Every structure is written in structure tokens, then in C-alpha cells.
Amino acid sequence: MSLQLLKYNAGIVKDTTEYSAGKNGPFYVDSDLVRFVNGYPEKIGGWEKDKFYVLDSAGETTSTEATLTGIGRKMVFWRGVDGTDRIAVGTHNHLYIIQNNAIYDITPLRKTTSNLSNPLVVTNGSTTITVTDNSHGASDGDFIVINSATATGGISAETINRMAGYQITFIDTNSYSIQSPDAATSGATGGGTTIDIKYLIGAAEGLGTQSASPALGWGVGGWGESTWNTPRALSLSQVNLENSSWSLNIWGEDLIANVRGVRIYYWDTSGLITARAVLVSSLAGAASVPAEVRATVVSFPDRHFIAAGASVYVAADGSSGTLDPMLVRWSTQEDFTKFAPTALNTAGDQRLEVGTKIVALVNTREETIISTDEAIYGMTFVGDPFIFSFRLLGTGVSAIGLNSMIAIDGNTYWMGNRSFYIYDGVINEIPCPLKHFVFDRLQTQFFDKTVAGHNVEFNEVTWFYVSDQNTAGTTNPEPDSYVTYNYNEKVWSIGSMDRTVWNDAFGSREKPFAFSPQGFLYNHETGTSDDGAAMTAFIQASPREITAEGENLYMVDRVIPDATMGANSNLSLFMNTRKYPNASETVKGPFNITSTTEKISTRVKGRQIALKFESTGTQDEWRLGDLRIDTKIAGMR
């Protein structure tokens, strides 16, 4: 018998057969919650919930843990000149500030109805409250906040006036219902004579759509499909509408927020923390602010506010024309409120030609990268008289969605429709040995939910996406899977994780942080567990043979592990053998490995062998090296 080194190349390979991955690498062929560091696999760090709390009707922080209302779509973190750390997060139906472990709803208001008299009706034993407000203008699913109501039918004033507000169920143009957390103890009509109702922006202002819906109108599907005057099946539509999302930008220490396809709002940190964001067009001196914008960014270092996919300029009096999804407009330098171009400012616009709409944009060190649905453009500040120059960088390489592009150290990475790309002065496709695996399981109806995140500590860019294995199926699924690219080592890994928005470590936030679809905020690379629960992490190696051509069967009697492990870690080794590539697999194990394991005695027989390492505990931390096996030839059969 003799010891033989088993060494694998870094990275996951799935776009070939497992046998080929073994012969041409050997590589690893599957993983979950595992990354590569210096060429070797290790379990990723755990995550812990970062708690924040709700406010009472007086605006004071309570001890009740809060979650987001709606699905987080965009997030930004910054520290103001006052030294206060803030997180702004836009969901598909709200805009929030998290500050000093409390959550504040700063969603703009559509309107406020004041001094309503006894508009509430409740029924004994029911949680339904019917509200009468003539010509309220709200849509089903919009949100309201009630102020100054008195107790009604046994439901307390504190409950009715809660800061979180309520989501409405539309009844008619003059009334709607809301659901109280407490049931009424008697029937009543009341609420007081000075009730104010604040209507948050909603469906009419671009919020409230969790998932893109297939377009099923005239012209959907190929000619002759289905029958006349019958509804088209979802499978026939190749056109998807867009979900509700945000662009969030920091201007100095203040926040500029844009609802995709609609308006731009401003939140001033110098005001009350409970103040809501207001329209940029409502600010003093604002001139021709676009009424409709698909995405926004602040250019660097010249500080123009860029509105991409904007309504056309009409006049300096603030009026705005129809939306042109390929038009780029920018404000005058150092003033995000003035979009009307004059001889004395640097405001202007430029229409792009290749594509039908602007999908995404990010700012880098020297230029702004813009993706249409057909091309990538570079937008560079050049000064007078043109202000910006535009270069067509590439066609057929567009980003898959609003949040699928990310700028890292001057380079831009993005996920396209069928591949991954980098722009570092020129556009190149990133070689990816598992791209077919990713794109074949991506639910294309929900591609726009794909979000990119950065983890600078490990040189990783990760895309979270909705897979066809999603437990929600096609009913409002959220990202459940990820694909990660280590741009230093140029290797890939995959796995399962449900995150809808992600921010890297920055300033006082020493670890990456992200929101789950359930509205919880998690600090990543923290601990070794899933917020106290077990993490199942594994990596599967490709099958390989001891002899060059796999002529003989062999017996593995002993394994010499090589792993760096925590004192409380347990790692299981499975040895999967086959006589032929398409033969049934025999699984041996698990064989337990701890930090003190010197050798493992086995009796495993086969022509080819595939190794799998797995941990399922709450305290596991490990990194693999190069293990050795003790083998002997067992014949040709």
C-alpha cells in the first residue's frame, strides 16, 4: 500500500460532466456556504440578527422588535457630520431610516386628509375597521397612517394611531377597510372629530408591486398562438413588467431617493428624524426636475445628479414632458434641484441610441457606467461646452436588472442575460464554468430581483437570484440562491441564501449586512451559525481515479485528513465510489473529522472516488488542505 496525494483545483465547475471535471482538473462540482481562500475551500462565516425597534404613537422607541414592511430592494449606509450612523432602505412599498436601533418610516406622502369627524366603524368581535374618507384616491394595498383618533369600540387610541400605519383594502372611492391587531369589544362609529389620515405614496406613484407580472395584453406571444378572445397563458408572455424598486443616493449627508420610473424625493438629516421625504421638485429654487426617472446616481468627482431614463425637458418653470426611457438628464453641478439648462449652468441631457430603455447605472472612479437593455455606455465628465461625453462600450452585454451592477475599485461587474461581465477599461466576459447551471435555473420572470453584493474582506462579488428551486414557486418568490466570484483568485462558488439587498462593511459597520425577505437585518461573517441555528455547509469534489486511465479497481484503507478546524468543529467525510461514470454510486460514510483526527480507517472500493465534506452544526469552522489516501490495487473487476 502507498499514500497518494489528492489535490483539487479551486472553484466549482458544473457546466461539464462530473467525470470530465475530475479528468480535466480535478475540480469541485458542488457546494453550499463554502468559499475559496488561497486556493482551498473553507466554510463561510455565520450571521447574526441585528435588532431594531418600533416606535409608539408618540414617536418613542419601544422594546418591540421590528421588521421591514415590504421586501428590501435598495440600501445605503452613511455617517452624517453629526456623527450619527444611518441606514436607508427602500422596500417595494416603503422607505425607511434605521438610526440608533430604531426604525423610522420616511415614505413620502401622497396627501393628508385633516379633521375627519368619526370616520371609523367597527363591529363587535371583529378586527376590521372601515374608514370613510370621500374621494380618498387610494388603491388597494396602499398604506395610511392615522393620527389623533380616539378609542373606538374597545380598540385603543394607541393601536389606531400606531406609527407603522395600516395597509388598506379598497371598498369604493369613498371608503376602505384596515385590519387592527386587536378585535373590537363592541360595535361603534367614532374615532373623534379631528382625525388626520396620512396617505403614503402607493400604486399611483410606482410602489406596491412586489413581483414583475407577465404582460398579457394585445400582441403578447407569437402570431396565431391560443384562440381569439381568450386570456393568454403566463407561459406565452415574453414581456415582463417591473417590480417596485428604488435608487438611493447620498448628497452630502442627506438622502435622495427615486422610485423607479416615477419621482425623485429628498430627505434632510437636519430636520426631525420623523419627517418624511418630500419631492425634490417641491424644494425652493427647483427647476425642471424630471417627473419620471428610471434610475439615478451622483457622478464622481464632479457631483452632478444624473437621472437616467427621464421625462424630457420642456421648460424651466418646472414642467416636464413624457418619459423617454433612453434619455439621460443631469442637474447643474453641485445642485441636484436644477435640471433646466442655461448658459450659466452645466445642466443638460443626452439621448442614448442602442436599446429601448435604461436598465441600470453605477458610478465609478472616472465615469458613470450605464446599461440599456441592449448596450453598455460610458458617461465621462469633460467640462464645457459638452459637460459629459458618451461612449458606446459594447452591445449585447446588458445588465439583467437595476441592482445587478456593482462598482469595485474602479472596475464594474454585472450579471447579464446569459453571462457575467467586467469593465476595467474594456468589457470582457468573465469565464464562468457554471454559468449554464445558474442561468438555466434562474426564473426569468423574476430576473429583475437579482442583486449584487460585495465582500471586500474576501475579494468576492455575489449575485443573489431567484432559482427554479424556490420554495415559493412562482408566487412572489424572492432570491434564494447565490453565485459568487472571487475576483482575486478568479474562482466561482454557489449556494443557497435568501437575501434581497446587501451592503459591504463600511465605517462603523465592520461586517457586511443584508436583509432577508422576511425583513430581518443580519450582520454577516459573524459567528459560525445561522443566527443560532445550524448551518449546513458542504463541498463536493469531482470523481477521480487513482490510475491514469482508470483501468483497475482500488481499495482505500486509510485517509489522512488535512484541515484547519475550530476546537468545537465536526466535519463529515463521505466517500462516493463508482465502477463506471454512469454506474450507480455507492456512498460510504460519514467518517467524522475533528481538530485532533490523525487518520480515518476505511474500506472503500471502486474505480473512481468522489469526496464530499459536510458540516451541520452551529460551531463549525474549517478550511481544507490536501488530504492523502492509502490505496492498493484491487483488480480490474
Asked which of 183, 200, 217 is the last residue of a domain, the reply is 200
> Averaged over 323-350, what is the pLDDT?
96
Q: Which of 207-221, 341-355, 383-397, 581-595 has the lowest mean pLDDT?
A: 207-221
The pLDDT of residue 112:
97
Whether residue 60 sits in one domain with residue 32 = no
Whether residue 437 sits in one domain with residue 479 = yes
- Domain presence at residue 218: no
DSSP string, 117-128: -S-EEE-TT--E
The per-residue pLDDT for range 542-567, each reduced to its tens digit, is 988 766 555 667 778 889 999 999 99
Asked which of 398, 417, 445 is the last residue of a domain, the reply is 398
CATH number for the domain including 193? 2.40.30.20
Whether residue 159 sits in one domain with residue 140 = yes
- Domain presence at residue 428: no
Query: Which of the four pLDDT bands, split at 50, 70 and 90, describes residue 214?
Result: low
- Single-letter residue type at 107: T
- Domain presence at residue 222: no
358-363 β-sheet, strand order: 358-363, 368-372, 375-383, 387-395
Whether residue 290 sits in one domain with residue 279 = no
Query: Which of the four pLDDT bands, split at 50, 70 and 90, describes residue 317?
Result: low
Give the range of the structural domain holding residue 384, as residue numbers without chain letter. Answer: 285-398
539-575 exposure pattern, b = at least 16 Cβ within 10 A, e = fewer: bbbbbbbbeeebeebbbbbebbbebebeeebbbebbb
Whether residue 382 sits in one domain with residue 358 = yes
For 501, the grid coordinates are 439587498
Query: Which of the four pLDDT bands, split at 50, 70 and 90, describes residue 231?
Result: low
Mean pLDDT over the full length of the chain? 92
For 359, the grid coordinates are 436598465
- Domain presence at residue 94: yes
> Averaged over 138-167, what is the pLDDT?
96
> Averaged over 355-360, what is the pLDDT?
98
Domain count along the chain: 5
CATH number for the domain including 571? 2.60.120
- pLDDT of 390 > 60? The answer is yes
- pLDDT of 252 > 80? The answer is yes
Q: How far apart are CA 554 and CA 123, in angstroms?
A: 78
DSSP string, 262-297: B-EEEE-TTS-TTPPPEEGGGSTT-BS--S-EEEEE
Whether residue 34 sits in one domain with residue 70 = no
In whole angstroms, how far apart are CA 83 and each of 80, 269, 510? 5, 12, 16
- Domain presence at residue 127: yes
Whether residue 291 sits in one domain with residue 394 = yes
Using alpha carbons only, how large is the chain's radius of gyration in Å? 28
Asked which of 350, 378, 398 is the last residue of a domain, the reply is 398
The candidate with the shortest Cα–Cα distance to 92, out of 415, 498, 444, 476, is 476
DSSP state of 94: -
- Domain presence at residue 602: yes
The per-residue pLDDT for range 22-68, each reduced to its tens digit, is 888 899 999 999 999 999 999 999 999 999 999 988 889 999 999 99
The per-residue pLDDT for range 92-129, each reduced to its tens digit, is 999 999 999 999 999 999 999 999 999 999 999 999 99
Three-state secondary structure call for residue 438? helix
With beta carbons less than 8 A apart as the criterion, state whether 126 and 184 touch: yes
Whether residue 77 sits in one domain with residue 60 = yes
- Domain presence at residue 408: no
Whether residue 302 sits in one domain with residue 348 = yes
- Domain presence at residue 419: no
The per-residue pLDDT for range 408-447, each reduced to its tens digit, is 999 999 999 999 999 999 999 999 999 999 999 999 999 9
> Averaged over 186-215, what is the pLDDT?
93
Whether residue 176 sits in one domain with residue 130 = yes
Query: What is the percent of the chain where pLDDT is above 90?
Result: 81
Find out whether the peptide bond into 385 is cis, omega within 30 degrees of 0: yes
Whether residue 252 sits in one domain with residue 164 = no
With beta carbons less than 8 A apart as the criterion, state whether 553 and 607 touch: yes
Whether residue 521 sits in one domain with residue 438 = yes
Query: Which of the four pLDDT bands, split at 50, 70 and 90, describes residue 399?
Result: very high
